[in-house]
Structure 1
Amino acid sequence: MTRSLDIVLLGLSLSSSWGNGHATTYRALIKGLRRAGHKVLFLERDVPWYASHRDLPSPDFCELAYYSDIGTMIERHGERLRRADAVIVGSYVPHGVQLIDRLEALEPKRLCFYDIDTPVTLAKLDRADQEYLALRQIPLFDAYFSFSGGEVLTRLEQRYGARRAIALYCSVDESRYVRTGESHRWDFGYLGTYSPDRQPTLERLLLEPARRLPSMRFVVAGPQYPAEIEWPANVERIEHLPPADHASFYSRQRFTLNVTRGDMIAAGWSPSVRLFEAAACGAPIVSDFWQGLDELLPDGKALFIARAPEDVVALLTEVPDSDRLAVAAAARKLVMSSHTGAARAGELVRALSDLPAKPAFDRISA
């Protein structure tokens, strides 16, 4: 499949990165598709919490359309959905179960799912939580693209009935995530929305080291942190950092922290988009551990794995700048060769080319 593809993506949000990591993932992937000559329509549910925090309301690399209800959206875009080369629904889309049923009824050429939260999704299904995907719907998809790789793909096919489970990791927008050359402002930092299952790790690997190293400067950027958290005096708080400021943020840290959600640690092979973005900016990464991480970014060669406050304190006080910069350079080389939006777009197009297309009919069945 070498011709230009017409792809329709229905995702959580493209326009707003507020409180979610989906937006930057979609932006990198779609930019990669656009540069390769493919056409994308992104359909986003118009919800107030993103409408009031839009940092990319009118992208120049794809069509972006908002909808308020599924029925009206189907009426307006049904023909495009039915005739597109692929229709891809993302995880956490509002009213996702209803949306998937309506899309499946249109009989698009290829209907796929892109799960940017695979371990969370499977944990939810295991407890009969069908917030955005029903268990019965998994076999409907021609392909189930997964944020997680490794043995999760086997589970998706053998336990959950996916026809084809294919790893499609997050990726970095290589045109925006670059080293800025700015002077360091912080010794150690973290960028991420508050999550209850990440907070203990943040406490252990950043806040406790900050207490032990009062002369050093720390920073935590991201929304939704509870007011009752007691931040050490040397930890700066940034409520929301738009993607346009991410490169500067990472470039001004001596080290940056990657923290992984519990479900993703349990599943393994679930690299956060923040991991790739930090590496692209040349920030030396300190990360918690999960299966598969060492094969993506080898410990001590492309990042530093920390398990306790003592590990972080030792890194901040003992690692020579030459070693710190060598590790950061190795991570950047790996990410720029294998984990950019362009690389991921190529993987998606190759995967879609292996999927047989259902024939398009002349009449829409709504």
Structure 2
Amino acid sequence: MKFVFYTHSLLSDWNHGNAHFLRGLMRDLGRRGHVTMALEPHDSWSRLNLLADQGPAAIEAFSDTFPGLRAQIYPENFDHEAALADADVVIVHEWTDPELISRIGRARRNGARFTLLFHDTHHRAVSAETDMSGLSLDGYDAVLAFGETLRQRYLKAGWAKAVFTFHEAADDTLFRPMPGADKTGDLIWIGNWGDDERSEEILEFLVRPVKELGLRATVRGVRYPADALSALKDGGISYGGWIANAQAPLAFARNRVTVHIPRRPYVSHLPGIPTIRVFEALACGIPLISAPWNDVEQLFRPGTDYLVAEDGAAMQRRLKEVLSDPDLAATLAKSGLETVRSRHTCRHRVDELLTILADVGSRSVIQQLAAGEAAQ
């Protein structure tokens, strides 16, 4: 089948975590013999910021790292209907321009043969509810929501009738342990500063514990304002700026522990959504200690796959325990890796996606799925 993904960007992962997951989905679909294409807007802020920050080489490296993936940048006057004429499945990310979201839905209502899905991997359903309620999802066959609480939001608000929980996951062909890597640091955190959605939490669960313990720590990410950079410096933390997602596994491997600091909207309004870095870190076999978040869907085994620190003082204690106890660190790494490999890889999500398509797909998609099963 031919899958077309409307994304904010496939080429750039600058402050754009959905690119991680999308690349993994497309890679696994390709391994199964499907054709994939990503369409991204000419004015993608992620790609434009990456170019300004790192130059053209960062975009050029995408093709070397992901040679099987195709992305097309579309201009304002792009003929979307023609581009989708031979598509079997079209998946539209929620960062897509609202007018284009409506236009693609209209094409589906007017008889387009593809199955049309809307994919939400953000917290705007609670942080920008008015914007989300204004989206026109008429014509969409279903919504993919990256957490059960988000799925329930859609159903309660009446934004869609068919909504499926579709968590993110790790591309374990990329995110995997690298046991031969030399350890050059104690702690690494890969995360963006964002819009003050976790500024206090970063200070409490990262900066202060690192300073108190005197750890060799590094932060990688973007959008850190001057006061944040000053806080990192005061805590003795090295700041390395943007890191290509494909380089994150080696960065994890060179450190002894990492942390998870969820954004406030996920903790307070969308429990059960860990965001993709948890999946990716555990897939790399690095011990992880998390600030509080409620795993209501039991995706992991808190206390076994990772440790939870209730506050900054607890984070300091947990870090000291993991860094001083090699057996504890090894046990955590092994358990987390085991859970990801058994439940949370992009292969698992493609299996789920194909099941969803079998439930809601157009006639042509259902026929092709049936033909694929018969061939196996």
TM-score, normalised to structure 1, is 0.87
Distance in structure 2 (CA, Å) of the matches to 1:158 and 1:138: 15
**Other structure's SS at 1:138 match:** coil
| Partner residue in 1 for 2:106 | 105
CA distance in 2: counterparts of 1:253 and 1:308, whole angstroms: 23
Greater RCO (CA < 8 Å, at least 6 residues apart) = 1
Identity in percent = 23
Paired amino acid for 2:99: Q
| 1:9–1:89 Cα contact (<8 Å) kept | yes
Contact 1:194-1:222 within 8 A present in 2 as well: yes
Q: Rate the CA distance shift 1:293–1:272 in 2: closer, same or farther, 3 A.
A: farther
Question: Shift of residue 114 of structure 1?
Answer: 0.7
Listed one character per residue, the Cα deviations across residues 241-297 of structure 1 (whole Å, up to 9, x for unaligned) are: 112310111112221011111111121121211111100111111112222268222
For the residue of structure 1 that corresponds to 2:90, the secondary structure is strand
Q: Determine which of 263, 266, 289 is the counterpart of 2:265.
A: 263
Q: Residue 360 of structure 2: SS of its match in structure 1?
A: coil
C-alpha distance in 2 between matches for 1:318 and 1:338: 28
- How do residues 112-127 of structure 1 correspond to structure 2 at under 5 angstroms? 112-117=117-122, 119-125=123-129
Q: Distance in 2 between matches of 1:185 and 1:293?
A: 36
Is the CA contact (8 Å cut-off) linking 1:11 and 1:44 kept in structure 2? yes
SS state at 2:286 partner? coil
**8 A Cα contact 2:207 2:235, kept in partner:** no
1:214-265: per-residue Cα shift (whole Å, max 9, x none)?
Answer: 2x21111101100122223521111111123101111122210111111111
Question: Matches of 2:99 and 2:349 in 1, distance apart?
Answer: 29
Q: Would the alpha carbon gap of residues 339 and 15 (structure 1) be closer, same or farther in structure 2, given more than 3 Å must change?
A: same
Distance in 1 of aligned mates of 2:83 and 2:78: 14
Residue 188 of structure 1: SS of its match in structure 2?
A: strand
Aligned residue type for 2:3:
I
Query: Please, which of 68, 71, 89 is the counterpart of residue 64 of structure 1?
Result: 71
Cα 1:134–1:103 shift into 2, 3 Å: farther
Of 4, 8, 19, 2:4 maps to 8
Distance 2:297 2:331 in 1: 17
- Does 1:31 pair with 2:27? yes
Q: Where does 1:286-365 land on structure 2 (aligned, <5 Å)?
A: 286-292=289-295, 295-319=298-322, 320-357=325-362
Kept in 1: contact 2:101–2:137 (CA 8 A): no
Q: Once superposed, what is the RMSD of the aligned Cα atoms?
A: 2.1
Measured after TM superposition, the shift of residue 62 of structure 1 is 3.3
Which residue of structure 2 aligns with residue 364 of structure 1?
A: none
Residue type of the partner of 1:46?
A: H
SS state of the match for residue 128, structure 2?
Answer: helix
Q: Report the secondary structure of 2:246's partner residue.
A: helix
- Counterpart of 1:207 in structure 2: which amino acid? V
Query: Structure 1 counterpart of 2:125, which letter?
Result: T
Runs of 4+ in 1 over 6 A off after TM superposition: none
Q: Is the CA contact 1:31–1:342 (under 8 Å) kept in the aligned structure 2?
A: no
CA drift of 1:136 comes to: 4.8
Give, in whole Å, the separation in 2 of the partners of 1:228 and 1:112: 41
- State how 1:124-135 maps to structure 2 within 5 Å: 124-125=128-129, 128=130, 130=131, 133-135=132-134
Secondary structure, aligned partner of 1:65:
strand
Cα distance, 1:298 vs structure 2: 1.4
SS of the residue corresponding to residue 256 of structure 1 reads strand
* Alpha-carbon distance, 1:359 to partner: 7.8
* Equivalent residue letter for 1:104: G
Matched ranges for 1:72-221 at <5 A: 72-74=78-80, 78-93=81-96, 96-107=97-108, 108=112, 109-117=114-122, 119-125=123-129, 128=130, 130=131, 133-149=132-148, 151-181=149-179, 182-195=181-194, 196-214=196-214, 216-221=215-220
**1:43 aligned residue:** 39
Q: Which secondary structure state, in structure 2, belongs to the residue aligned with residue 66 of structure 1?
A: strand
Structure 1 contact 208–309 (Cα < 8 Å) conserved = yes
For residues 312 and 327 of structure 1, the distance between their equivalents in structure 2, rounded to whole angstroms, comes to: 16
SS in structure 1 of the partner of residue 137 of structure 2: helix
Inter-partner Cα distance in structure 2 for 1:174 and 1:307: 29
Greater mean alpha carbon deviation, residues 338-347 or residues 177-186: 177-186
Residues of 1 paired with 2:305 and 2:26: CA distance? 27
Q: Distance in 1 between matches of 2:298 and 2:20?
A: 24
Q: Which residue of 1 aligns with 2:370?
A: none
SS of 2:144's equivalent in the other structure is strand
Native 8 Å contact 2:5 2:37 kept in 1:
yes
The secondary structure found in structure 2 opposite 1:144 is: strand
Give the direction of change, closer, same or farther, for the CA distance of 1:294–1:104 in structure 2 (3 Å limit): closer
The size of the alignment, in residue pairs, is 342
1:167 Cα deviation from its structure 2 partner: 1.2
Name the CA distance, whole Å, in 1 between partners of 2:153 and 2:316: 38
Q: Does 1:274 align with 2:277?
A: yes
Q: Distance in 2 between matches of 1:354 and 1:25?
A: 23
1:326 positional shift: 0.5
Q: Mark the CA change 1:176 to 1:347 in structure 2 (over 3 Å): closer, same or farther.
A: same
**Partner Cα separation in structure 2 for residue 226 and residue 136 of structure 1:** 32
Structure 2: unaligned runs, 5 residues or longer:
366-376
The offset of 1:139, in angstroms, is 4.7
Amino acid in structure 1 at the alignment position of 2:248: H
Distance 1:258 1:294, change over 3 A: farther
Q: Give the helix-richer structure, 1 or 2.
A: 2
- Asked if the contact 2:208/2:235 (under 8 Å) is kept, the reply is no
Q: Return the alpha-carbon distance in structure 2 between the equivalents of residues 64 and 355 of structure 1.
A: 26
Is 301-310 or 137-146 further displaced after alignment?
Answer: 137-146
Are residues 112 and 354 of structure 1, via their aligned partners in 2, closer, same or farther at CA, if it must alter by over 3 Å? same
